[in-house]
Protein backbone atom coordinates (compact mmCIF):
# COMPACT_ATOMS: atom_id res chain seq x y z
CA UNK A 1 0.00 0.00 0.00
CA UNK A 2 1.06 3.55 -0.69
CA UNK A 3 -1.30 5.78 1.23
CA UNK A 4 -1.43 9.47 0.49
CA UNK A 5 -3.50 12.47 -0.43
CA UNK A 6 -4.62 14.10 -3.62
CA UNK A 7 -5.25 17.83 -3.31
CA UNK A 8 -7.32 19.63 -5.90
CA UNK A 9 -5.96 23.13 -6.44
CA UNK A 10 -8.95 23.90 -8.62
CA UNK A 11 -11.49 23.64 -5.84
CA UNK A 12 -9.52 24.50 -2.70
CA UNK A 13 -10.87 27.77 -1.33
CA UNK A 14 -8.17 28.26 1.29
CA UNK A 15 -10.54 28.14 4.28
CA UNK A 16 -7.99 26.47 6.62
CA UNK A 17 -10.61 23.97 7.80
CA UNK A 18 -8.19 21.10 7.10
CA UNK A 19 -5.51 22.73 9.25
CA UNK A 20 -7.82 23.35 12.20
CA UNK A 21 -9.43 19.91 11.96
CA UNK A 22 -5.93 18.41 11.84
CA UNK A 23 -4.82 20.33 14.91
CA UNK A 24 -8.01 19.42 16.76
CA UNK A 25 -7.73 15.70 16.03
CA UNK A 26 -4.02 15.31 16.45
CA UNK A 27 -3.63 17.33 19.62
CA UNK A 28 -5.40 14.45 21.36
CA UNK A 29 -4.18 11.73 19.00
CA UNK A 30 -1.20 9.38 19.14
CA UNK A 31 1.39 12.14 18.79
CA UNK A 32 -0.44 14.76 20.82
CA UNK A 33 -0.60 17.19 22.37
CA UNK A 34 0.40 19.73 19.73
CA UNK A 35 1.42 22.56 21.99
CA UNK A 36 1.06 26.27 21.35
CA UNK A 37 3.14 28.96 22.98
CA UNK A 38 1.57 32.29 23.77
CA UNK A 39 -1.63 31.28 21.94
CA UNK A 40 -3.63 34.40 22.80
CA UNK A 41 -0.73 36.83 22.83
CA UNK A 42 0.77 39.04 20.17
CA UNK A 43 3.04 36.43 18.62
CA UNK A 44 1.36 33.06 18.96
CA UNK A 45 3.40 30.08 17.81
CA UNK A 46 2.69 26.39 17.82
CA UNK A 47 3.04 23.12 15.95
CA UNK A 48 0.80 22.63 12.95
CA UNK A 49 0.96 19.61 10.71
CA UNK A 50 -0.78 21.26 7.79
CA UNK A 51 -0.31 24.77 6.47
CA UNK A 52 -2.09 26.60 3.68
CA UNK A 53 -0.41 29.19 1.49
CA UNK A 54 -1.96 31.34 -1.19
CA UNK A 55 -0.25 32.20 -4.47
CA UNK A 56 -0.89 34.31 -7.48
CA UNK A 57 -0.23 32.24 -10.60
CA UNK A 58 -0.07 34.03 -13.90
CA UNK A 59 1.14 33.87 -17.44
CA UNK A 60 4.72 35.10 -17.54
CA UNK A 61 5.02 38.32 -19.50
CA UNK A 62 7.33 38.20 -22.51
CA UNK A 63 10.15 40.19 -20.93
CA UNK A 64 10.16 38.18 -17.74
CA UNK A 65 12.21 35.04 -17.79
CA UNK A 66 10.79 32.15 -15.86
CA UNK A 67 12.86 31.33 -12.81
CA UNK A 68 12.89 27.68 -13.86
CA UNK A 69 15.18 28.27 -16.83
CA UNK A 70 17.71 26.00 -15.19
CA UNK A 71 18.65 23.12 -17.50
CA UNK A 72 19.10 20.72 -14.58
CA UNK A 73 15.64 21.49 -13.33
CA UNK A 74 13.87 21.18 -16.62
CA UNK A 75 15.46 17.78 -17.07
CA UNK A 76 14.03 16.70 -13.72
CA UNK A 77 10.66 18.07 -14.74
CA UNK A 78 10.76 16.10 -17.95
CA UNK A 79 11.62 13.01 -16.01
CA UNK A 80 8.58 13.32 -13.75
CA UNK A 81 6.43 14.19 -16.72
CA UNK A 82 7.38 10.90 -18.31
CA UNK A 83 6.92 9.13 -14.97
CA UNK A 84 3.41 10.47 -14.77
CA UNK A 85 2.75 9.42 -18.31
CA UNK A 86 3.84 5.90 -17.56
CA UNK A 87 1.63 5.68 -14.52
CA UNK A 88 -1.29 7.10 -16.44
CA UNK A 89 -1.28 4.14 -18.85
CA UNK A 90 -0.82 6.24 -21.93
CA UNK A 91 -3.52 8.77 -21.22
CA UNK A 92 -2.69 12.29 -22.25
CA UNK A 93 -0.60 14.30 -19.85
CA UNK A 94 -2.53 17.34 -18.81
CA UNK A 95 -0.52 20.34 -17.83
CA UNK A 96 -2.60 23.42 -18.02
CA UNK A 97 0.34 25.75 -17.93
CA UNK A 98 2.31 23.81 -20.48
CA UNK A 99 -0.65 23.90 -22.85
CA UNK A 100 -1.29 27.56 -22.25
CA UNK A 101 2.22 28.62 -23.09
CA UNK A 102 2.34 26.48 -26.18
CA UNK A 103 -0.74 28.30 -27.38
CA UNK A 104 -2.74 25.11 -27.71
CA UNK A 105 -5.27 26.17 -25.18
CA UNK A 106 -7.76 28.81 -26.14
CA UNK A 107 -9.90 28.82 -23.05
CA UNK A 108 -7.25 28.93 -20.40
CA UNK A 109 -7.27 31.76 -17.91
CA UNK A 110 -3.53 31.80 -18.30
CA UNK A 111 -3.46 33.96 -21.35
CA UNK A 112 -3.84 37.57 -22.27
CA UNK A 113 -7.16 38.97 -21.29
CA UNK A 114 -8.47 40.24 -24.63
CA UNK A 115 -10.50 43.03 -23.07
CA UNK A 116 -7.92 44.60 -20.81
CA UNK A 117 -4.71 43.39 -22.43
CA UNK A 118 -3.36 42.39 -19.02
CA UNK A 119 -1.96 38.93 -18.35
CA UNK A 120 -4.69 36.91 -16.69
CA UNK A 121 -3.94 35.42 -13.31
CA UNK A 122 -5.45 33.10 -10.77
CA UNK A 123 -5.31 32.83 -7.02
CA UNK A 124 -4.31 29.34 -5.94
CA UNK A 125 -4.59 28.04 -2.39
CA UNK A 126 -2.14 25.29 -1.60
CA UNK A 127 -2.42 23.23 1.58
CA UNK A 128 0.73 21.32 2.45
CA UNK A 129 1.32 18.51 4.88
CA UNK A 130 3.71 15.56 4.88
CA UNK A 131 4.09 14.16 1.36
CA UNK A 132 4.81 10.64 2.73
CA UNK A 133 7.86 10.53 0.40
CA UNK A 134 9.05 7.21 -0.94
CA UNK A 135 12.64 8.37 -0.54
CA UNK A 136 12.23 10.16 2.76
CA UNK A 137 15.52 11.74 3.80
CA UNK A 138 13.96 12.79 7.10
CA UNK A 139 14.04 9.11 8.04
CA UNK A 140 17.58 8.53 6.75
CA UNK A 141 19.14 11.43 8.67
CA UNK A 142 17.47 10.60 11.99
CA UNK A 143 20.23 9.49 14.40
CA UNK A 144 17.94 8.00 17.04
CA UNK A 145 15.64 5.89 14.90
CA UNK A 146 12.64 7.95 16.03
CA UNK A 147 11.68 8.70 12.42
CA UNK A 148 10.52 5.73 10.44
CA UNK A 149 8.54 4.85 7.34
CA UNK A 150 6.06 2.01 7.65
CA UNK A 151 6.67 -0.75 5.14
CA UNK A 152 3.02 -1.79 5.03
CA UNK A 153 1.44 1.51 4.01
CA UNK A 154 4.27 4.00 3.47
CA UNK A 155 3.26 6.37 6.27
CA UNK A 156 6.19 8.30 7.74
CA UNK A 157 5.92 8.56 11.51
CA UNK A 158 7.92 9.76 14.52
CA UNK A 159 8.26 7.69 17.65
CA UNK A 160 7.70 10.43 20.24
CA UNK A 161 9.52 8.42 22.91
CA UNK A 162 12.76 8.21 20.92
CA UNK A 163 13.08 11.72 19.44
CA UNK A 164 15.85 13.87 20.93
CA UNK A 165 14.75 17.09 19.20
CA UNK A 166 17.88 17.70 17.10
CA UNK A 167 15.84 19.25 14.26
CA UNK A 168 17.92 17.49 11.60
CA UNK A 169 14.87 15.80 10.04
CA UNK A 170 13.15 19.16 9.61
CA UNK A 171 16.27 20.39 7.83
CA UNK A 172 16.16 17.36 5.56
CA UNK A 173 12.50 17.95 4.61
CA UNK A 174 12.03 20.24 1.61
CA UNK A 175 8.29 20.63 2.21
CA UNK A 176 8.36 22.06 5.72
CA UNK A 177 6.27 19.17 6.96
CA UNK A 178 8.01 18.78 10.31
CA UNK A 179 7.70 21.16 13.20
CA UNK A 180 9.29 20.97 16.62
CA UNK A 181 6.98 21.01 19.61
CA UNK A 182 8.73 23.51 21.85
CA UNK A 183 7.01 22.36 25.00
CA UNK A 184 7.85 18.67 24.69
CA UNK A 185 11.05 19.12 22.70
CA UNK A 186 10.12 16.51 20.12
CA UNK A 187 9.36 16.68 16.43
CA UNK A 188 5.78 16.54 15.17
CA UNK A 189 4.47 15.68 11.74
CA UNK A 190 1.37 14.57 9.86
CA UNK A 191 0.48 10.97 10.68
CA UNK A 192 -2.09 10.72 7.89
CA UNK A 193 -4.36 10.23 10.94
CA UNK A 194 -3.03 6.72 11.39
CA UNK A 195 -5.19 6.55 14.52
CA UNK A 196 -8.37 7.14 12.47
CA UNK A 197 -7.89 5.32 9.19
CA UNK A 198 -7.52 1.87 10.77
CA UNK A 199 -10.01 2.35 13.60
CA UNK A 200 -12.66 -0.29 13.09
CA UNK A 201 -14.87 1.27 15.76
CA UNK A 202 -15.48 4.17 13.42
CA UNK A 203 -18.03 3.85 10.61
CA UNK A 204 -16.20 3.02 7.40
CA UNK A 205 -16.90 6.40 5.81
CA UNK A 206 -15.10 8.10 8.70
CA UNK A 207 -11.92 6.04 8.45
CA UNK A 208 -10.20 8.93 6.72
CA UNK A 209 -7.78 11.66 7.81
CA UNK A 210 -9.40 14.57 9.67
CA UNK A 211 -8.35 17.04 6.99
CA UNK A 212 -10.13 15.04 4.29
CA UNK A 213 -13.33 14.72 6.30
CA UNK A 214 -13.43 18.41 7.14
CA UNK A 215 -12.83 19.79 3.64
CA UNK A 216 -16.02 21.62 2.60
CA UNK A 217 -15.20 21.44 -1.11
CA UNK A 218 -13.90 17.87 -1.14
CA UNK A 219 -10.58 19.14 -2.41
CA UNK A 220 -8.74 16.51 -0.44
CA UNK A 221 -8.96 12.86 -1.33
CA UNK A 222 -7.32 10.07 0.65
CA UNK A 223 -6.44 6.66 -0.75
CA UNK A 224 -3.97 4.05 -1.91
CA UNK A 225 -1.77 5.08 -4.84
CA UNK A 226 -0.72 1.47 -5.36
CA UNK A 227 -4.28 0.53 -6.25
CA UNK A 228 -4.89 1.69 -9.86
CA UNK A 229 -8.68 1.72 -9.33
CA UNK A 230 -8.59 3.96 -6.24
CA UNK A 231 -9.93 7.51 -6.39
CA UNK A 232 -6.49 8.98 -5.83
CA UNK A 233 -4.93 7.01 -8.71
CA UNK A 234 -7.83 7.79 -11.01
CA UNK A 235 -7.76 11.53 -10.22
CA UNK A 236 -4.00 11.69 -10.62
CA UNK A 237 -4.26 10.17 -14.08
CA UNK A 238 -7.32 12.12 -15.22
CA UNK A 239 -6.18 15.49 -13.99
CA UNK A 240 -2.40 15.16 -14.33
CA UNK A 241 -1.60 15.26 -10.63
CA UNK A 242 1.87 16.55 -9.82
CA UNK A 243 4.33 15.95 -7.02
CA UNK A 244 6.19 18.98 -5.70
CA UNK A 245 9.92 19.58 -6.21
CA UNK A 246 10.57 16.35 -8.12
CA UNK A 247 14.13 17.54 -8.83
CA UNK A 248 15.19 16.77 -5.25
CA UNK A 249 14.39 13.10 -5.75
CA UNK A 250 12.30 12.50 -2.62
CA UNK A 251 9.50 10.90 -4.68
CA UNK A 252 6.63 12.52 -2.76
CA UNK A 253 3.44 10.43 -2.69
CA UNK A 254 0.90 13.26 -2.41
CA UNK A 255 -0.32 14.70 -5.68
CA UNK A 256 -1.60 18.17 -6.55
CA UNK A 257 -4.23 18.57 -9.29
CA UNK A 258 -3.75 21.72 -11.37
CA UNK A 259 -6.64 24.13 -11.79
CA UNK A 260 -9.03 23.16 -14.58
CA UNK A 261 -9.19 25.09 -17.79
CA UNK A 262 -11.99 27.55 -17.41
CA UNK A 263 -13.69 29.80 -19.89
CA UNK A 264 -12.35 33.30 -19.67
CA UNK A 265 -14.81 35.72 -18.18
CA UNK A 266 -15.11 38.60 -20.64
CA UNK A 267 -14.44 42.00 -19.23
CA UNK A 268 -17.50 44.17 -18.81
CA UNK A 269 -17.83 46.21 -21.97
CA UNK A 270 -19.15 49.75 -21.78
CA UNK A 271 -22.40 49.92 -23.70
CA UNK A 272 -24.21 53.05 -24.64
CA UNK A 273 -27.44 53.40 -22.72
CA UNK A 274 -30.46 55.09 -24.21
CA UNK A 275 -31.44 58.39 -22.61
CA UNK A 276 -34.74 56.97 -21.35
CA UNK A 277 -33.14 54.18 -19.31
CA UNK A 278 -30.68 56.67 -17.88
CA UNK A 279 -33.59 58.81 -16.78
CA UNK A 280 -35.34 55.78 -15.24
CA UNK A 281 -32.21 54.86 -13.32
CA UNK A 282 -31.86 58.39 -12.03
CA UNK A 283 -35.51 58.47 -10.99
CA UNK A 284 -35.18 55.14 -9.20
CA UNK A 285 -32.18 56.36 -7.31
CA UNK A 286 -33.93 59.51 -6.22
CA UNK A 287 -37.02 57.60 -5.06
CA UNK A 288 -34.91 55.04 -3.21
CA UNK A 289 -33.41 57.84 -1.20
CA UNK B 1 19.51 28.98 8.03
CA UNK B 2 19.68 30.60 11.40
CA UNK B 3 23.23 30.36 12.81
CA UNK B 4 22.92 28.83 16.28
CA UNK B 5 25.85 29.74 18.51
CA UNK B 6 26.06 26.27 20.05
CA UNK B 7 26.53 24.67 16.64
CA UNK B 8 29.06 27.29 15.48
CA UNK B 9 31.07 26.83 18.66
CA UNK B 10 30.84 23.05 18.34
CA UNK B 11 32.03 22.75 14.75
CA UNK B 12 34.83 25.32 15.12
CA UNK B 13 36.14 24.24 18.51
CA UNK B 14 35.94 20.48 18.13
CA UNK B 15 37.41 20.93 14.63
CA UNK B 16 40.49 22.61 16.14
CA UNK B 17 40.64 20.01 18.91
CA UNK B 18 40.61 17.05 16.54
CA UNK B 19 43.02 18.84 14.18
CA UNK B 20 45.45 19.43 17.06
CA UNK B 21 45.23 15.81 18.22
CA UNK B 22 45.75 14.60 14.65
CA UNK B 23 48.92 16.70 14.35
CA UNK B 24 50.17 15.64 17.75
CA UNK B 25 49.92 11.92 16.92
CA UNK B 26 50.94 12.32 13.28
CA UNK B 27 54.13 14.18 14.18
CA UNK B 28 55.11 11.41 16.57
CA UNK B 29 54.40 8.74 13.98
CA UNK B 30 56.30 10.62 11.27
CA UNK B 31 59.37 11.49 13.31
CA UNK B 32 59.33 8.34 15.40
CA UNK B 33 60.16 10.50 18.40
CA UNK B 34 57.95 11.40 21.30
CA UNK B 35 59.79 14.31 22.78
CA UNK B 36 58.98 15.49 26.29
CA UNK B 37 56.21 13.27 27.70
CA UNK B 38 54.95 16.14 29.82
CA UNK B 39 54.47 18.31 26.74
CA UNK B 40 52.73 15.50 24.89
CA UNK B 41 50.24 15.04 27.72
CA UNK B 42 49.71 18.80 27.96
CA UNK B 43 48.97 19.23 24.23
CA UNK B 44 46.85 16.09 24.20
CA UNK B 45 44.85 17.36 27.16
CA UNK B 46 44.22 20.71 25.45
CA UNK B 47 43.15 19.00 22.21
CA UNK B 48 40.83 16.59 23.96
CA UNK B 49 39.34 19.41 26.06
CA UNK B 50 38.59 21.47 22.96
CA UNK B 51 36.98 18.48 21.20
CA UNK B 52 34.93 17.63 24.29
CA UNK B 53 33.78 21.22 24.86
CA UNK B 54 32.61 21.30 21.26
CA UNK B 55 30.75 18.01 21.57
CA UNK B 56 29.11 19.08 24.81
CA UNK B 57 28.01 22.35 23.26
CA UNK B 58 26.46 20.45 20.36
CA UNK B 59 24.08 18.77 22.79
CA UNK B 60 22.91 22.20 23.98
CA UNK B 61 20.76 22.70 20.90
CA UNK B 62 18.88 19.46 21.49
CA UNK B 63 15.31 20.07 22.56
CA UNK B 64 15.08 16.72 24.33
CA UNK B 65 18.62 15.79 25.45
CA UNK B 66 17.45 12.90 27.63
CA UNK B 67 17.16 10.84 24.45
CA UNK B 68 20.64 11.82 23.20
CA UNK B 69 22.01 8.37 24.06
CA UNK B 70 19.83 6.94 21.31
CA UNK B 71 21.79 8.94 18.73
CA UNK B 72 24.37 6.15 18.48
CA UNK B 73 21.83 3.69 17.16
CA UNK B 74 21.54 4.54 13.47
CA UNK B 75 25.16 4.20 12.37
CA UNK B 76 24.20 2.58 9.09
CA UNK B 77 22.11 5.45 7.75
CA UNK B 78 22.61 8.70 9.66
CA UNK B 79 25.74 10.86 9.45
CA UNK B 80 24.85 12.45 12.78
CA UNK B 81 24.79 9.00 14.34
CA UNK B 82 28.13 8.14 12.72
CA UNK B 83 29.64 11.35 14.06
CA UNK B 84 28.44 10.44 17.54
CA UNK B 85 29.85 6.93 17.36
CA UNK B 86 33.26 8.01 16.02
CA UNK B 87 33.59 10.88 18.50
CA UNK B 88 32.86 8.53 21.37
CA UNK B 89 35.11 5.78 20.00
CA UNK B 90 37.97 8.26 19.84
CA UNK B 91 38.24 8.62 23.61
CA UNK B 92 39.32 5.05 24.54
CA UNK B 93 41.72 4.86 21.60
CA UNK B 94 43.55 8.12 22.30
CA UNK B 95 43.53 7.49 26.07
CA UNK B 96 45.04 4.02 25.59
CA UNK B 97 47.65 5.55 23.27
CA UNK B 98 48.54 8.19 25.86
CA UNK B 99 48.55 5.73 28.74
CA UNK B 100 50.71 3.11 27.02
CA UNK B 101 53.10 5.80 25.81
CA UNK B 102 53.35 7.11 29.37
CA UNK B 103 53.79 3.62 30.84
CA UNK B 104 56.43 2.82 28.24
CA UNK B 105 58.39 5.84 29.25
CA UNK B 106 57.97 7.39 25.83
CA UNK B 107 59.04 4.53 23.61
CA UNK B 108 57.08 4.19 20.36
CA UNK B 109 56.48 0.49 19.87
CA UNK B 110 54.82 -1.03 16.82
CA UNK B 111 51.57 -1.62 18.74
CA UNK B 112 51.57 2.00 19.79
CA UNK B 113 52.10 3.11 16.22
CA UNK B 114 49.07 1.07 15.15
CA UNK B 115 46.94 2.53 17.95
CA UNK B 116 48.13 6.00 16.99
CA UNK B 117 47.24 5.43 13.33
CA UNK B 118 43.79 4.16 14.33
CA UNK B 119 43.23 7.27 16.46
CA UNK B 120 44.20 9.40 13.46
CA UNK B 121 41.67 7.63 11.27
CA UNK B 122 38.88 7.97 13.82
CA UNK B 123 39.58 11.69 14.27
CA UNK B 124 39.49 12.12 10.48
CA UNK B 125 36.25 10.15 10.27
CA UNK B 126 34.64 12.29 12.98
CA UNK B 127 35.38 15.53 11.15
CA UNK B 128 34.27 14.04 7.82
CA UNK B 129 30.98 13.00 9.45
CA UNK B 130 30.46 16.55 10.72
CA UNK B 131 30.84 17.83 7.17
CA UNK B 132 28.61 15.10 5.75
CA UNK B 133 25.77 15.97 8.15
CA UNK B 134 25.49 19.24 6.23
CA UNK B 135 26.54 18.00 2.80
CA UNK B 136 23.89 15.28 2.82
CA UNK B 137 20.97 17.73 3.13
CA UNK B 138 19.50 18.07 -0.35
CA UNK B 139 17.03 20.87 0.46
CA UNK B 140 19.94 23.25 1.10
CA UNK B 141 21.95 23.54 -2.08
CA UNK B 142 24.65 25.71 -0.45
CA UNK B 143 25.37 22.71 1.80
CA UNK B 144 24.64 19.91 -0.63
CA UNK B 145 27.87 20.79 -2.36
CA UNK B 146 30.90 18.55 -2.99
CA UNK B 147 33.23 21.13 -1.39
CA UNK B 148 31.51 21.27 1.99
CA UNK B 149 33.03 18.14 3.52
CA UNK B 150 36.57 18.77 2.20
CA UNK B 151 36.34 22.30 3.61
CA UNK B 152 35.33 21.04 7.05
CA UNK B 153 38.25 18.65 7.00
CA UNK B 154 40.69 21.26 5.68
CA UNK B 155 39.72 23.86 8.27
CA UNK B 156 40.09 21.30 11.04
CA UNK B 157 43.54 20.17 9.89
CA UNK B 158 44.70 23.72 9.13
CA UNK B 159 43.60 25.17 12.46
CA UNK B 160 45.07 22.10 14.16
CA UNK B 161 48.41 22.75 12.48
CA UNK B 162 48.45 26.33 13.76
CA UNK B 163 47.45 25.22 17.26
CA UNK B 164 50.23 22.62 17.17
CA UNK B 165 52.74 25.22 15.97
CA UNK B 166 51.66 27.62 18.69
CA UNK B 167 51.84 25.03 21.46
CA UNK B 168 55.19 23.65 20.38
CA UNK B 169 56.54 27.19 20.43
CA UNK B 170 55.07 27.78 23.88
CA UNK B 171 56.20 24.48 25.41
CA UNK B 172 59.44 23.70 23.60
CA UNK B 173 60.41 27.18 22.43
CA UNK B 174 60.93 25.85 18.94
CA UNK B 175 58.80 25.83 15.82
CA UNK B 176 58.22 22.59 14.03
CA UNK B 177 59.19 23.40 10.43
CA UNK B 178 56.95 20.61 9.14
CA UNK B 179 53.78 21.76 10.93
CA UNK B 180 54.47 25.40 10.13
CA UNK B 181 55.01 24.88 6.43
CA UNK B 182 52.07 22.47 6.31
CA UNK B 183 49.94 25.17 7.91
CA UNK B 184 50.91 27.70 5.23
CA UNK B 185 50.25 25.25 2.40
CA UNK B 186 46.93 24.08 3.86
CA UNK B 187 45.88 27.68 4.41
CA UNK B 188 46.43 28.41 0.73
CA UNK B 189 44.49 25.31 -0.33
CA UNK B 190 41.57 26.15 1.94
CA UNK B 191 41.47 29.74 0.71
CA UNK B 192 41.38 28.54 -2.87
CA UNK B 193 38.68 26.00 -2.09
CA UNK B 194 36.61 28.52 -0.15
CA UNK B 195 36.73 30.93 -3.11
CA UNK B 196 35.64 28.14 -5.48
CA UNK B 197 32.85 27.32 -3.01
CA UNK B 198 31.64 30.93 -2.99
CA UNK B 199 31.68 30.89 -6.79
CA UNK B 200 29.74 27.65 -6.96
CA UNK B 201 26.98 28.70 -4.55
CA UNK B 202 26.66 32.01 -6.39
CA UNK B 203 25.37 30.31 -9.53
CA UNK B 204 21.62 30.64 -10.06
CA UNK B 205 20.45 27.05 -9.89
CA UNK B 206 18.32 24.73 -7.83
CA UNK B 207 14.64 24.66 -6.99
CA UNK B 208 12.35 27.58 -7.72
CA UNK B 209 8.93 28.67 -6.55
CA UNK B 210 7.72 27.11 -9.82
CA UNK B 211 8.98 23.63 -9.02
CA UNK B 212 7.96 24.05 -5.38
CA UNK B 213 4.33 24.67 -6.31
CA UNK B 214 4.22 22.58 -9.49
CA UNK B 215 3.43 25.58 -11.70
CA UNK B 216 6.58 25.33 -13.77
CA UNK B 217 5.21 27.18 -16.77
CA UNK B 218 3.79 30.17 -14.96
CA UNK B 219 4.89 33.08 -12.86
CA UNK B 220 4.14 32.41 -9.22
CA UNK B 221 4.08 34.88 -6.34
CA UNK B 222 3.25 34.28 -2.69
CA UNK B 223 0.21 36.28 -1.60
CA UNK B 224 -0.38 34.89 1.87
CA UNK B 225 1.78 32.56 3.92
CA UNK B 226 -1.24 31.62 6.04
CA UNK B 227 -0.06 33.00 9.37
CA UNK B 228 0.59 36.47 10.73
CA UNK B 229 3.17 35.58 13.35
CA UNK B 230 6.38 33.56 13.12
CA UNK B 231 6.16 29.81 12.80
CA UNK B 232 8.70 27.09 13.53
CA UNK B 233 9.52 27.11 9.81
CA UNK B 234 10.18 30.84 9.52
CA UNK B 235 12.17 30.85 12.76
CA UNK B 236 14.30 27.91 11.72
CA UNK B 237 14.79 28.51 8.01
CA UNK B 238 14.17 32.14 7.15
CA UNK B 239 17.21 34.16 8.06
CA UNK B 240 18.21 37.22 6.09
CA UNK B 241 21.39 39.04 6.93
CA UNK B 242 21.36 41.36 3.94
CA UNK B 243 23.58 41.07 0.89
CA UNK B 244 25.93 43.88 1.88
CA UNK B 245 26.52 42.49 5.35
CA UNK B 246 27.25 39.05 3.92
CA UNK B 247 29.72 40.50 1.44
CA UNK B 248 31.50 42.53 4.12
CA UNK B 249 31.69 39.48 6.37
CA UNK B 250 33.17 37.45 3.53
CA UNK B 251 36.01 39.97 3.28
CA UNK B 252 36.42 40.12 7.04
CA UNK B 253 36.58 36.32 7.06
CA UNK B 254 39.26 36.25 4.36
CA UNK B 255 41.32 38.81 6.30
CA UNK B 256 40.97 37.18 9.73
CA UNK B 257 41.09 33.56 8.64
CA UNK B 258 43.70 33.70 5.91
CA UNK B 259 45.69 36.92 5.52
CA UNK B 260 46.38 37.88 9.15
CA UNK B 261 47.37 34.35 10.35
CA UNK B 262 49.56 33.90 7.29
CA UNK B 263 51.43 37.17 7.79
CA UNK B 264 51.82 36.57 11.51
CA UNK B 265 53.09 33.01 11.10
CA UNK B 266 55.55 34.11 8.44
CA UNK B 267 56.67 36.91 10.77
CA UNK B 268 57.15 34.41 13.60
CA UNK B 269 59.16 32.11 11.39
CA UNK B 270 61.31 34.63 9.56
CA UNK B 271 61.86 37.33 12.16
CA UNK B 272 61.50 35.27 15.29
CA UNK B 273 58.69 37.33 16.83
CA UNK B 274 57.24 34.63 19.04
CA UNK B 275 54.05 36.34 20.34
CA UNK B 276 52.84 36.85 16.78
CA UNK B 277 51.79 33.21 16.54
CA UNK B 278 49.36 33.63 19.47
CA UNK B 279 47.68 36.51 17.72
CA UNK B 280 47.58 34.39 14.59
CA UNK B 281 45.64 31.74 16.52
CA UNK B 282 43.18 34.29 17.93
CA UNK B 283 42.63 35.78 14.48
CA UNK B 284 42.15 32.33 12.94
CA UNK B 285 39.64 31.36 15.62
CA UNK B 286 37.51 34.46 15.01
CA UNK B 287 37.91 33.97 11.26
CA UNK B 288 36.63 30.42 11.57
CA UNK B 289 33.66 31.64 13.59
CA UNK B 290 32.77 34.09 10.84
CA UNK B 291 33.30 31.36 8.24
CA UNK B 292 30.89 29.06 10.09
CA UNK B 293 28.39 31.88 10.67
CA UNK B 294 28.42 32.62 6.94
CA UNK B 295 28.06 28.91 6.18
CA UNK B 296 24.71 29.05 7.97
CA UNK B 297 23.61 32.57 7.05
CA UNK B 298 24.18 31.99 3.33
CA UNK B 299 22.41 28.64 3.28
CA UNK B 300 18.90 28.95 1.92
CA UNK B 301 16.55 26.08 2.64
CA UNK B 302 13.96 25.38 -0.08
CA UNK B 303 11.15 25.82 2.49
CA UNK B 304 11.78 29.53 1.98
CA UNK B 305 10.13 29.12 -1.42
CA UNK B 306 6.85 28.67 0.46
CA UNK B 307 7.49 31.87 2.38
CA UNK B 308 8.08 34.29 -0.46
CA UNK B 309 11.42 33.42 -2.08
CA UNK B 310 11.49 32.98 -5.85
CA UNK B 311 14.49 30.69 -5.97
CA UNK B 312 16.53 28.60 -3.57
Contacts of A54 in chain B (CB under 8 A): 222-224, 226
Distance CA A26, CA A93 (A): 36
Between residues 40 and 59 of chain B, which touch chain A (CB distance below 8 Å)?
A: none
Q: Residue A284 burial by CB count (10 A; 0-12/13-18/19+): exposed, middle or buried?
A: exposed
Chain A residues with beta carbon closer than 8 angstroms to that of B80: 141, 143, 166, 168
**Cβ contact A18:A215 at 8 Å:** yes
CB contact under 8 A, B63 and A165: yes
Is it true that the peptide bond before A33 is cis, omega within 30 degrees of 0?
yes
Average pLDDT estimate for B141-150? 96
Is this complex scored with an ipTM above 0.90?
yes
> What's the CA gap between A140 and B185, in Å, rounded?
37
CATH 3.40.50.1820 is right for the domain spanning B5-307: no
At A206-238, the pLDDT tens digits run 999 999 999 999 999 999 999 999 999 999 999
What pLDDT does residue A12 have?
96
pLDDT in tens, B57-78: 988 889 999 999 999 999 999 9
Q: Report the alpha-carbon distance of residue A36 to residue A46 in Å, rounded.
A: 4
Interface test with B, best of A23, A31, A171, A258 (most B CBs within 10 A): A171
Q: Which residues of B touch A250 (CB under 8 A)?
A: 138
Whether A171 sits inside 8 A of B78 (CB atoms) is no
Rounded-to-integer distance, Cα B130 and Cα B15, Å: 9
Mean pLDDT computed over B204-228:
91
According to the model, what pLDDT value does residue A265 have?
A: 63
Is B160 in contact with B21 (CB distance < 8 Å)? yes
Q: Report the mean per-residue pLDDT for chain B.
A: 93
Residue in B with minimal Cα distance to A179: B232
Q: Any idea which architecture A3-257 has in CATH?
A: 2-Layer Sandwich (3.30)
Q: Which residues of B touch A182 (CB under 8 A)?
A: 63, 232
Residue A29's closest CA among A157, A129, A130? A157
Global pTM reads: 0.85
Strands A147-149 and B219-224: unpaired
CA B248 to chain centre: 21
Q: Report domain extents, chain A.
A: 3-257
Of A53, A67, A143, the CB nearest to B81: A143
Give the model's pLDDT for residue A116: 57
Write down the domain spans for chain B: 5-307
Cα distance from B148 to chain A (closest Cα, Å)? 16
Amino acid sequence: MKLGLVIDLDTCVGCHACATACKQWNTSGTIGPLSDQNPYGKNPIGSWLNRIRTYEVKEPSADQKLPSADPKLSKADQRTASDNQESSCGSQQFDLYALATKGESTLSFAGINSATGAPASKTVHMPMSCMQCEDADCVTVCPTGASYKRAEDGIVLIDQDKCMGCNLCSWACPYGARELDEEQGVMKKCTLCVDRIYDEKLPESERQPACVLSCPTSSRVFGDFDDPSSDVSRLTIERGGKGLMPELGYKPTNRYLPPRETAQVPAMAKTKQPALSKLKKWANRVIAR
Amino acid sequence: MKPAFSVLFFTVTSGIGYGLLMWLVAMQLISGQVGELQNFLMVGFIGLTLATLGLLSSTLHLANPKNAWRAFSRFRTSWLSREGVFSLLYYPVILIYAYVLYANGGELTLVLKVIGAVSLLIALATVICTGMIYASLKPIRQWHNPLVTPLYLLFSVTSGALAYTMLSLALEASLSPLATSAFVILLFISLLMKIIYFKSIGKPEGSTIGSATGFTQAQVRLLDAGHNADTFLTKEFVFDAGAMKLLRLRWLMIILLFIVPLLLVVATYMFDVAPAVYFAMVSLYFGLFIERWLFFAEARHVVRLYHGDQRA
